């Protein structure tokens, strides 16, 4: 039985079609990437699989059933934005997840937190954006779920942290568990006339490594010049301030 499957899946927002006739089937034990530019429907597909959106037409199944209360127990979902309460400590979040999810493994989360040197006593509001995203990823991957739905887990973190995130995905990969959709920027276009255009692109660990390297190079090309410009402007501003003080 497929862990995630859709048939003729369509989702429209008013006059805008986000997904058009998407049909695919993902077997357990697979790592799958959804490739496509912004606005191509990757997040929409993941939200449909998680029951956060309702299809306009077509069907989607998680572990043989429509997304709902029953399927939620089998899915560990990482949204594209940090959704954890900022007033809670990491320890309180661990307790919350343990009480809410029967498959949450406290020991696994503690191991990953210790590796990243994140204190369980630290509150979310005291952390940087990247650290918050790491905590949310750790909590998501600490479940023994059948299906992991990860929406751009490397999208908002610094390049230095991406190796750890990739390593976390690989070390916690369970061949007997479900697929691991990982949206990244690329060339995937859902729907359309061709059957392949509406199908998720299967991959593996080597594919993930290549995607991470591509993302790192792309980010470096864009961000390095911006960093240099920022440093130059800061030095000029500081120099102007000193000149005015001396004058």
- More confident position, 217 or 154: 154
- pLDDT band for 176, please (50, 70, 90 cuts): low
In contact, 9 and 160? CB cutoff 8 Å? no
Q: Is the pLDDT of residue 225 over 80?
A: no
Per-residue model confidence as pLDDT tens digits over 136-163: 988 998 998 889 998 887 766 666 667 7
In contact, 50 and 77? CB cutoff 8 Å? yes
- More confident position, 111 or 1: 111
Angle at 152 between CA 14 and CA 137, to 5 degrees: 125
| Cα(11)–Cα(73) distance, integer angstroms | 24
What's the confidence (pLDDT) of residue 34?
84
Q: What is the mean predicted confidence (pLDDT) over 112-135?
A: 88
Q: Is the pLDDT of residue 247 over 50?
A: yes
Per-residue model confidence as pLDDT tens digits over 59-106: 999 999 999 888 888 899 988 888 888 999 999 999 999 998 999 999
Q: Is the pLDDT of residue 11 over 90?
A: yes
| Cα(50)–Cα(69) distance, integer angstroms | 10
> The dihedral of CA 190, 166, 208, 62: what is its sign?
negative
| Cα(236)–Cα(247) distance, integer angstroms | 16
What's the confidence (pLDDT) of residue 69?
83
- More confident position, 31 or 206: 31
Which token pair is 129?
């954006």
What's the confidence (pLDDT) of residue 193?
34
Q: Nearest to residue 165, comparing CAs of 157, 123, 219, 183? A: 157
The per-type count for the chain, helices as H runs and strands as E runs, is 7, 7
Mean of all residue pLDDT scores within the chain: 76
Cβ contacts of residue 153 below 8 Å, gap of 6+? 78, 133, 137, 165, 169, 182
- pLDDT band for 238, please (50, 70, 90 cuts): low
What's the confidence (pLDDT) of residue 73?
87
Angle at 89 between CA 83 and CA 91, to 5 degrees: 105
| pTM of the entire predicted model | 0.69
What's the confidence (pLDDT) of residue 201?
40
Q: Is the pLDDT of residue 132 over 50?
A: yes
| Bridging pattern class, strands 75-78 and 147-150 | parallel
Which token pair is 28?
């357990």
Cβ contacts of residue 176 below 8 Å, gap of 6+? 28, 29
What's the confidence (pLDDT) of residue 235?
63
């Amino acid at each position: 039985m497929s862990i995630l499957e859709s048939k003729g899946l369509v989702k429209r927002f008013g006059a805008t079609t986000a997904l058009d006739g998407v049909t695919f089937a993902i077997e357990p034990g697979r790592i799958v990437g959804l490739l496509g530019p912004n606005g191509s429907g990757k997040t929409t597909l993941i939200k449909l699989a998680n029951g956060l959106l309702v299809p306009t037409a077509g069907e989607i199944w998680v572990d043989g059933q429509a997304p709902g209360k029953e399927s939620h127990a089998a899915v560990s979902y990482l949204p594209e934005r940090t959704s954890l309460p900022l007033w809670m400590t990491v320890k309180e979040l661990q307790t919350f997840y343990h009480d809410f999810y029967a498959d949450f493994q406290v020991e696994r989360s503690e191991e990953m937190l210790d590796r990243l040197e994140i204190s369980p006593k630290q509150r979310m509001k005291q952390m940087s954006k990247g650290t918050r995203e790491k905590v949310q990823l750790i909590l998501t991957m600490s479940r023994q779920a059948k299906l992991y739905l990860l929406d751009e887990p490397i999208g908002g973190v610094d390049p230095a942290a991406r190796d750890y995130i990739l390593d976390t995905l690989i070390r916690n990969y369970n061949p007997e568990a479900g697929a691991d959709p990982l949206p990244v920027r690329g060339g995937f276009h859902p729907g359309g006339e061709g059957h392949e255009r509406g199908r998720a692109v299967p991959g593996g660990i080597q594919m993930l490594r290549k995607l991470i390297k591509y993302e790192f190079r792309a980010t470096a090309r864009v961000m390095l010049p911006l960093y240099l410009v920022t440093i130059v402007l800061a030095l000029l501003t500081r120099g102007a301030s000193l000149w005015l003080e001396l004058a």
